[in-house]
C-alpha cells in the first residue's frame, strides 16, 4: 500500500500516469472521507477510476458508481469434478449460447419460465415502491432479465485446483441500468454546471435533495436487477450443464457479489456512501470473486477486512490496453494461441478481450494479498461471450 496524496491510497503496482492523475482528481472532492482507495486493477474510467473505492459524506457521484450499475459475479460450485465431464465441451458451450441471449442489446423473445416471472414480479413491486416505471428507461427491460451483454461479460465452466467444477459468470443491470445511470449523471452535471469541478464527470448529487433521493431509489433497484439477472442466467447455465453431464447439479456453494455499486457503510467514525467502482466488498470473512480475463485464472477469495482499503478488494485484472489499442496490437491468431485448451467461440469480435489486453492477474492478486485470502484458483474449461 502506498499513500499517493493525503486523500488517495493505492495498492496498484501497475498504475498508468493518466489513471493516477484521474484518481488524484477524484480524491480532491471536498466531501471525500477519509480517502479514496485505489485497487490493484485500477485503470482509466469515466470521471472516476475503475478499480477505486470512493467514500463520500452528504453527496454521491453517479459516475463513481458507473453506467453498469450492480455489475458483478456469480459462481456456483458443483459436486462434479473434471473426471465426470464429457470429453467434447463444444455441446455445453453451444447449449449455454442457446439458453442465454448474448451480445449488447440482446433480449429474450418472451418470458415463459416460472422462475423468470417470479423475479420480474419482485422487480415490478420494487419499482412501484421506488415510484418509477423501468419501461420509461428501457421498454424491453423485462425481456433483458437473463441476458449477458458483451464486452468483458462472460459465462464459464471452470475447474479449481482440486478438479472441482464451478459455473461462473459476469454481468450487470443491462440496458435499463445503463440508462438509469446516464440519466442521473446528466442530472448531476446540470446541477453542478456553475461549479468549478476538476472533471465534469465528478458532478455530484447532494443528500437531502429530490435528485439525490431519486437516484438512490433507482440505483438500488438497478442493483437488485443486476443481482437477479445473474441468478436468472445461472439457473439456465445449471440446467444446460446438468443436461450435458446427464445428472442433477447440486449447488454445493454459491457466491453472488456486486463490484459496481454504492451502499451506506461506516468507516473511520462516520456514516458514508461508499461507491465501489470496480471493487468488491472484502470485509472480514466475506466471500468474493475476482475474475481474470477470458484466458487466465479467476479467484474465489475471502475478505480480510482491511480498514485502510475500506474493506475492499479488486474486481478483476483491469485493462492495460484500451479496446482500440488492443485491436491495433493483437490478432486473431494471438487470441487463438492464448485460448489453447479452452472451448470458446472463435471470433475476431473478441480480439479486444485477449488476455494480453489486461493486467497480469497474478500481479493483481499479489498486490491484493493484504486485502483477501485466496480459497480457490479457477481455470477455464469453457468460455462463452457476447459480441
Catalytic residue numbers read 315
Cis-peptide, bond into residue 34, ω within 30° of zero:
yes
CB 140 within 8 A of CB 175: yes
Q: Per the structure block, which three cell numbers stand in for 130?
A: 421506488
The greatest distance separating any two alpha carbons of the chain, rounded to the nearest whole angstrom, comes to 64
Closest alpha carbon to 275 in 173, 380, 202, 176: 202
- Give the closest residue to 373 by CA, choosing from 295, 305, 297, 277: 305
- Structure-block grid coordinates of residue 163: 478438479
Determine the Cα–Cα distance for residues 362 and 314; give it in Å rounded to an integer.
Answer: 12
**Backbone phi, then psi, for 84, in 5-degree steps?**
-85, -10
CA 39 → CA 34, 50, 52, 295, distances in Å? 16, 9, 6, 22
Amino acid at each position: 500500500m502506498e499513500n499517493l496524496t493525503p486523500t488517495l491510497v493505492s495498492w496498484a503496482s501497475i498504475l498508468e500516469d493518466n489513471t493516477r492523475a484521474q484518481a488524484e482528481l477524484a480524491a480532491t472532492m471536498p466531501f471525500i472521507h477519509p480517502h479514496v482507495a485505489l485497487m490493484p486493477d485500477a485503470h482509466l474510467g469515466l470521471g472516476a477510476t475503475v478499480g477505486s473505492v470512493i467514500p463520500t459524506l452528504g453527496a454521491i457521484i453517479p459516475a463513481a458508481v458507473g453506467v453498469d450499475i450492480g455489475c458483478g459475479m456469480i459462481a456456483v460450485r458443483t459436486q462434479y469434478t473434471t473426471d465426470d465431464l464429457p470429453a467434447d465441451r463444444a455441446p455445453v458451450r453451444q447449449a449455454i449460447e442457446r439458453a442465454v441471449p448474448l451480445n449488447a442489446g440482446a433480449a429474450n423473445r418472451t418470458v415463459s419460465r416460472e422462475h423468470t416471472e417470479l423475479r420480474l414480479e419482485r422487480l415490478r413491486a420494487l419499482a412501484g415502491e421506488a415510484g418509477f416505471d423501468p419501461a420509461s428507461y428501457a421498454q424491453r427491460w423485462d425481456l433483458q432479465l437473463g441476458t449477458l451483454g458483451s464486452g468483458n461479460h462472460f459465462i464459464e465452466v471452470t475447474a479449481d485446483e482440486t478438479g472441482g467444477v464451478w459455473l461462473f459468470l459476469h454481468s450487470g443491470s443491462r440496458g435499463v441500468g445503463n440508462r438509469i445511470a446516464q440519466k442521473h449523471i446528466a442530472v448531476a452535471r446540470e446541477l453542478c454546471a456553475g461549479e468549478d469541478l476538476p472533471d465534469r464527470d465528478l458532478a455530484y448529487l447532494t443528500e437531502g435533495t429530490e435528485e439525490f433521493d431519486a437516484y438512490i431509489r433507482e440505483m438500488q433497484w438497478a442493483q437488485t436487477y443486476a443481482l437477479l439477472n445473474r441468478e436468472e442466467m445461472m439457473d439456465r447455465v445449471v440446467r444446460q450443464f446438468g443436461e450435458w453431464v446427464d445428472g442433477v447439479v447440486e449447488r454445493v456453494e454459491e457466491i453472488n457479489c456486486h463490484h459496481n455499486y454504492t451502499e451506506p457503510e461506516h468507516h473511520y467514525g462516520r456514516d458514508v456512501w461508499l461507491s465501489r467502482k470496480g471493487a468488491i466488498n472484502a470485509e472480514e470473512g466475506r466471500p468474493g470473486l475476482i475474475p481474470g480475463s477470458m484466458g487466465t485464472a479467476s479467484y474465489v477469495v475471502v475478505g480480510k477486512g482491511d480498514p485502510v482499503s475500506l474493506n475492499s478488494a479488486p474486481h478483476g485484472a483491469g485493462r492495460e490496453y484500451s479496446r482500440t489499442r488492443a485491436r491495433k496490437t493483437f490478432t486473431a491468431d494471438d487470441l487463438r494461441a492464448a485460448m489453447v485448451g479452452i472451448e470458446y467461440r472463435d471470433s475476431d469480435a473478441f480480439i479486444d478481450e485477449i488476455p494480453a489486453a489486461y493486467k497480469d492477474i497474478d500481479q493483481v492478486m499479489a498486490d491484493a494479498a493484504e486485502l483477501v485470502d485466496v480459497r480457490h484458483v479457477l481455470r477455464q474449461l469453457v468460455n462463452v461471450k457476447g459480441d
